[in-house]
Structure 1
Amino acid sequence: MTLPVMPPVDPMLSKSAPSIPPGKLYEPKWDGFRAIVFRDGDSVEIGSRNTKPMQRYFPEIVEAVLSYLPERCVVDGEIIVPSSTHSGLDFDALLQRVHPAESRVRLLSVETPALLVLFDVLALGDDDLTGLPFAQRRSVLESLVTPGGPISITAQTSSLDVATQWFSQFEGAGLDGVVAKDPAGVYEPGKRTMQKIKHERTADCVVAGYRPHKSGDDAVGSLLLGLYNSSGTLASVGVSASFPMARRRELVTELAPLVVPLEGHPWDYSALGRTPREAAGSRWSAGKDLSFVPLSPTLVVEVAYDHMEGDRFRHTAQFRRWRPDRDPSSCTYAQLEEPVSYALKDVLATS
């Protein structure tokens, strides 16, 4: 492979902003697998956010690149898997694609095929485009892709009003905000030169246990959060883990009076619904010890979250404050906002 921009390349990143800034180019914020794709003739490499190759996990993307992109190019985008049950994306199905067995990868490439959504181009032919203004790179990108296939281009607008509308309209699994880009900006690998504006909401959750810190049992690794569903079962919805080490050690002492046996706990082996133990084989947890210290479900905490992935928080929730004034029984799914649904085609460029 001989290209003007060669792998590995650290993707250009974004930093958080409290509101949508004016005077930018705006795109929906995707939350799949970041992918910088290199094609040189019949050779294709897909670099992840940490620059590791991942083309073996997405043979259908490799085939699409060979069929739909120019023979020599480098593009930046996101790999996603559309949901088979709703109008958004299925991040859990995407995670399942990272599997060591080639036979399993091939099967899933047919059962849950991935799509490639592009938002930048770094090279075309013999030309390195990273020094061009972003607006010009976008024009080049739009000339490369024909809408309607397995490779698409993300929607974009220069209108602050439209971006504000997108911020609400395109909310959901895989679309949790807006990215603002400088029209004159060059491509700067590894630097946080873009701005991301993400949804953040708060929820009052029951603290039903904690996992010890990886350094030992004298520190809390993460608080395990629960919400009561419509059947009255305390379902595991995620974790909160952002504490300084000194505070993690203090929490072990503070939570000690609430430690209870697993037997009879809402998340013991006979409990219905999803529990931390049942979740031990999902998402990024393969091979990890996810045993936990059960707590009496009497403590309530307010946490901030961006959005839900099914019945769980998509990302680690951020601790805000303890809520001694709240009754644990009031911590239900009913308090969560319902995102506005969207059609995937509305988030992709149509021309």
Structure 2
Amino acid sequence: MDPTPPIEPMLAKLVDELPADPGFLFEPKWDGFRAIVFRTADETLLQSRDLKPLNRYFPELAQALHDALPKGCVLDGEIVVVSPRGLDFDALQQRIHPAASRIAKLALETPARFVAFDLLGAGGRSTMGLAQAERRTRLERLLGSMKPPLHLTPMTRDRAEAQRWLQHFEGAGLDGVIAKLESAVYQPGKRAMLKIKHVRSADCVVAGFRWYKDRTDAIGSLLLGLHDDAGVLQHVGVTSSFTMAMRQQLLQELAPLRERALESHPWRAWAGAVVGDAQRMPGAQSRWSGGKDLSWEPLRPERVCEVRYDHLQGNRFRHATVFMRWRPDKPPQECRYDQLEVTTPYELAKVFGA
């Protein structure tokens, strides 16, 4: 297999717990931008998960990797930004900006790092056909003496140690644990790894919805809210894990809540809005929305549902949540931030040194 760009990264499927069978390597799951690094004779290319170049957004990292890596080397890993509190995904997102002057400023203020976790090529030859354990050994030889901004991800074969990582590393901003079969070859584009994340639930107010694609007979997602300390209902994310039959049923079930929904809605100022603070406004466009129609339909905030989530990014759910059930026994005003589990801080230096 040719180790030249583009290469689709190997992916992971979500499972509920760490595998108990022998023959697995365990690594922390980094919360950043997946990237494959190609160090050729003349340049170093940073390729995104969707096969696009990332060099213009991380010029300081591209240069550092070019200086540090040997020619013919291809690495799979994660671009991250480190803050005093651990990984900072918000700061990382800000690096994707259309203005070169802004990128140059942020490259100095929030420089990026690269955490390598697989070796896809060395000396101009592909290593993707080698077993995972052999690729790891070669990666350790290659990066054993490397210094920031290049890091080698920790690895263990001890399931108990991986379980400890799952419990503690989240406090440094990490996203769970990855399990890889020692005997597996690298499979581009295939979900050949396992990822284990924290599973938590929260009771949220349903305060609006978005249509399913171009249809007007089915709900695409429900907009969720939680009350802050001042009693203000804040938009915290969406839940969208529904079958088509349930999407159509939801539209009928929630129809009464659409009547006069804007009259006293806590988000009425945002109705139809497409600009502004994307962190707060349910209808806001941003450079991450890809031009999608993010308009929304208000509902009177009277119903509560329980959703499953993995972790927070600031005051919002990092990913779309999974709908679990309605909570008719729960008053909307009791859906507050203080129900959420607080993650104990953990030093990122201990993660790198694991």
Q: Secondary structure at the match of 1:269?
A: helix
Q: Secondary structure at the match of 1:143?
A: helix
* Over 6 Å off, 4+ runs: none
Q: Secondary structure at the match of 1:42?
A: coil
Q: What TM-score do the two structures reach when normalised by structure 2?
A: 0.91
Give how far 1:172 is off: 4.7
Q: Distance in 1 between matches of 2:353 and 2:236?
A: 34
Q: Distance in 2 between matches of 1:283 and 1:227?
A: 25
Aligned to 1:177: 176
Aligned to 1:15: 13
Q: Secondary structure at the match of 1:226?
A: strand
Counterpart amino acid of 1:28? Answer: P
User: What are the equivalent positions in structure 2 for 1:241-320 lying under 5 Å apart?
Assistant: 241-259=240-258, 260-269=260-269, 276-277=280-281, 280-282=284-286, 284-285=288-289, 287-320=291-324
Aligned to 2:164: 165
Q: Secondary structure at the match of 2:217?
A: strand
Counterpart amino acid of 2:239? Answer: S
Give how far 1:282 is off: 4.4
Aligned to 2:59: 59
Does the CA contact (< 8 Å) of 1:17 and 1:197 recur in 2? Answer: yes
Q: Flag structure 1 segments of 5+ consecutive residues without an equivalent.
A: none
Q: Distance in 2 between matches of 1:65 and 1:129?
A: 19
Q: Residue deviations 1:53-90, cap 9 Å, x none?
A: 2222211121111121112200000011123xx52222
Q: Flag structure 2 segments of 5+ consecutive residues without an equivalent.
A: 272-276
Q: Residue deviations 1:219-265, cap 9 Å, x none?
A: 21210101111111111110001112232222222111111343421
Q: Distance in 1 between matches of 2:214 and 2:263?
A: 27
Give how far 1:21 is off: 1.4
Q: Distance in 2 between matches of 1:293 and 1:37?
A: 43
Counterpart amino acid of 1:62? Answer: A
Q: Distance in 2 between matches of 1:342 and 1:316?
A: 25
Counterpart amino acid of 2:234? Answer: A
Does the CA contact (< 8 Å) of 1:152 and 1:349 recur in 2? Answer: no
Q: Distance in 2 between matches of 1:152 and 1:211?
A: 41
Aligned to 1:120: 118
Mapped pair 1:337 → 2:338? no
Does the CA contact (< 8 Å) of 1:170 and 1:340 recur in 2? Answer: no
Does the CA contact (< 8 Å) of 1:91 and 1:173 recur in 2? Answer: no
Counterpart amino acid of 1:243? Answer: F
Task: Give me the CA root mean square deviation.
Answer: 2.2
| Higher alpha-carbon deviation: 39-48 or 166-175 | 166-175
Q: Residue deviations 1:167-212, cap 9 Å, x none?
A: 1101157522111111222212122221111111111000011122
Q: Number of residue pairs matched?
A: 345
Give how far 1:155 is off: 1.0
Give how far 1:277 is off: 2.7
Specify which of 100, 103, 111 is matched with residue 102 of structure 1: 100
Q: Distance in 2 between matches of 1:330 and 1:122?
A: 51
Q: Secondary structure at the match of 2:114?
A: strand
Counterpart amino acid of 1:262? Answer: L
Does the CA contact (< 8 Å) of 2:270 and 2:282 recur in 1? Answer: no
Does the CA contact (< 8 Å) of 2:75 and 2:120 recur in 1? Answer: yes
| Higher alpha-carbon deviation: 125-134 or 33-42 | 125-134
Q: Distance in 2 between matches of 1:235 and 1:147?
A: 44
